[in-house]
Structure 1
């Protein structure tokens, strides 16, 4: 049996980076410490703990759930199987949201379907003068978002409910952002890779993937200030349909932005002033 980290790294079927990340979790140490001490003797308890984590990863469980965290917008967010795994492309939603808030003092922001809180918390931390409200119908997700807000020192108001169906009332906002479930229920990717382990309710509307987007866009006018913006993430092939939703609801300056891979990732528009 291997008796130090280097042995495990060399023998594991996992990529070396993942193997080391699992050992960092087991031992509670930094990457630099692990590299400097990778020939130190390992306790039997540590080896058993590592082997359990390795087995989960070899079975396909996402690293984010095994480690309990994932980096997003330069910060570490805690995650669990009750929330989606943060993805780099969603950083575009934060980036555009912050741009749209430029020049607005003490803006009011609404993050619909906040999940782990990555979008709302990131905006709140980058714009500490903003009044950010985050909603989610999953109490487990909302609890995770609250945990991340506390851990990162962000001030937000959390409101349970489905999209606008919360105790928000008729409050209006300078910006509404959302990364809703938008995958078509027939999409084969739902049964592949990390998606197999993520909460299905956060991935698909169990229809054509546009149900949540319709609800968000159609409900937005009642909650937007004149000249305010709505920005939503969507699927790679949904830009035309989402733009049509925006225009048919009366939005102006409707546009779609692509991510670093050139995929049409999110659409936004302004409510007329």
Structure 2
């Protein structure tokens, strides 16, 4: 009897700790998913003379945007960055785009860099992406459009590209670097003890496969320990017209530094 009571007490205690941990994840997962680095409003994102900064107003926030502008661009490379830092980290190494005569547009999510507000839901995040795109899209009517994302940004980029396809505005290329099939699947692989229902940011990428009508280019390091390359392999087999560049020796954060990636980017832009 004493043993049974003791066992029941232990199980109740373990259950309470587990429930507390799951509850904490539900309410605080923004702090786990997003690692913003604020930036002073008077600190320039780039000192290059062909770049400019501006803000896009959205409900409850102002989003900081960086824009590389070529004199007569062939098109635009709209890029959605990963889950950390700010535009000073991401809006760099732009010479390849200048050489290809492509403008570049990037923005900081809420709470990142000079952007105000805070991320509260996936729906809000996707709405912000569409708002920034719609602000710059009229400048590129009749020109080439590349929608791209890296890591966290890949699910957002795929969603935007699918949205444009549904409106008859399919991008000329969708480029996903270090992509995940969905954040829910990735979380289940890393934290198998957490119920999938807890994740409020499922960020499905695979579900957009049937809606993406144009070509898709996937780039993934074969040593990526954060998002295994199997995610991009699964996506590659699902998209209608896709190719996967396996970057030998690359991990998650250094994939863009490999010459094969720069060469592939230059070739992809040159073909458009």
Given the two structures, how large is their TM-score scaled by the length of structure 2? Answer: 0.34
TM-score, reference length from structure 1: 0.34
